[in-house]
Amino acid sequence: MSDGSAAERPRGVVKVAVVGTGLVGATCAYSILARGLAAEIVLIDANRDRAEGEAMDLNHALPFGRPARIWAGNYSDAAGADIVIVAAGAAQKPGQSRLELARTNVEITRAIVPQIEAVAPDAILILVSNPVDVLTYAAQKASRYPWQRVIGSGTLLDTARFRFELGRHCGMDPRNVHAYIIGEHGDSEVPVWSLANVAGMRLRDYCPVCGKGCSGRALDQLFENVKTAAYRIIKLKGATYYAIGAGVARLTEAILRDEHTVMTVSTRIDGYCGIGDVCLSLPAIICRDGIRETIPLTLSPDEEAALRHSADTLQGVLRSVGL
């Protein structure tokens, strides 16, 4: 039987591996399947039963969609994968600090990445587990993949939430809202209000003419809703996974189709706004090689200071986990 490696697969047959098939990893796999993006999806998890169960369930969706080969496997089954999504990790335990969680998940990432690299040296890695910016940095350090090929989902989700909330607030399709959350995927993330744009107009120019007459406080509250969304969803139903699954599938699609689409993802920053040697999110152009380049946004002085604070926060975590 074929080992599924790139050399053995017919040209154009896309293979995706998902490492960590809990709620997030399985939802990423489902979203990729629903979009018909991959002909082969291999699921790898420390809990083999979990991966087997998800593979069975996903296989049973095939009669309703496009053909694909989906199975639970080991790292050798990820041979020649085009894209590897890493959503493995421990969840925060009661009483456990974020820093302790970071230490655990850094160790997990350091163990996983070399095993992927050994079998899929040409893959593009998408890191999703938290703290995602720290784990993206750890994955880059633990491998010889070029930085362009190690992408953290970063503020992909936060930016989607921001666009959704702004679209709802303005009564517009979120696809007509261009606004970014940059920096850490977490408490120090930065909304780029100065460049927010709806239907081709700067938000600050649109606000006076839209007629709603809402105050700046309404927009502050809107961002607060974005920033605290994950906490609220986790309180209500235990975890978040649909939106991140859709976002990772969309990122996968942008890579596979060489779209040169702009998305906020976590990547190594060296020099922008005086920030260096850290991974955080900026709008980046996504192509078949991963990240082509990041966009050096012209920020307001306040936004620039907030981004530096976000970078300092992340560097503090990197130092405390010995990276």
228 binds ligand NAD (CB under 6 A): no
* 27-53 exposure pattern, b = at least 16 Cβ within 10 A, e = fewer: bbbbbbbbbebbbbbbbbbeeeebbbb
The one among 45, 82, 189, 303 contacting ligand NAD by CB under 6 A: 45
Of the candidate spans 2-10, 22-30, 165-173, 218-226, the one that interacts with ligand NAD by CB under 6 A turns out to be: 22-30
- Phi/psi of residue 257, each to 5°? -95, 10
- Determine if 102 is a binding residue for ligand NAD (CB under 6 A): no
Q: Identify any residues that bridge with 40 across adjacent strands, giving them in sequence order.
A: 15, 69
Q: Which residue has the tokens 């503020």?
A: 155
Determine whether 260 is an active site residue: no
Among candidates 123, 172, 119, 115, which has minimal Cα distance to 151? 123
Beta-carbon-side half-sphere exposure of residue 269 (alpha carbons within 13 Å)? 33
User: Of 91, 99, 262, 287, which one interacts with ligand NAD (CB under 6 A)?
Assistant: 91
Site residues for ligand NAD, window 137-156 (CB under 6 A)?
A: 153
> Distance of CA 189 to CAs 53, 81, 186, 263, 314, Å?
36, 32, 6, 15, 11
Q: Which stretch binds ligand NAD (CB under 6 A): 75-83, 105-113, 116-124, 221-229?
A: 105-113
Both tokens of residue 172? 């517009």
By CB under 6 A, residue 129 contacts ligand NAD: yes
Please choose, out of 68-76, 82-90, 136-144, 166-174, the segment that lies near ligand NAD by the rule CB under 6 A.
Answer: 82-90
Kindly tell me which residue out of 239, 277, 289, 320 binds ligand NAD, with binding defined by CB under 6 A: 239
Which spans of this chain sit near ligand NAD (rule: CB under 6 A)? 19-25, 45-47, 50, 87-89, 91, 108, 111-112, 128-130, 132, 153, 157, 185, 239-241, 244
Active site residues: 185
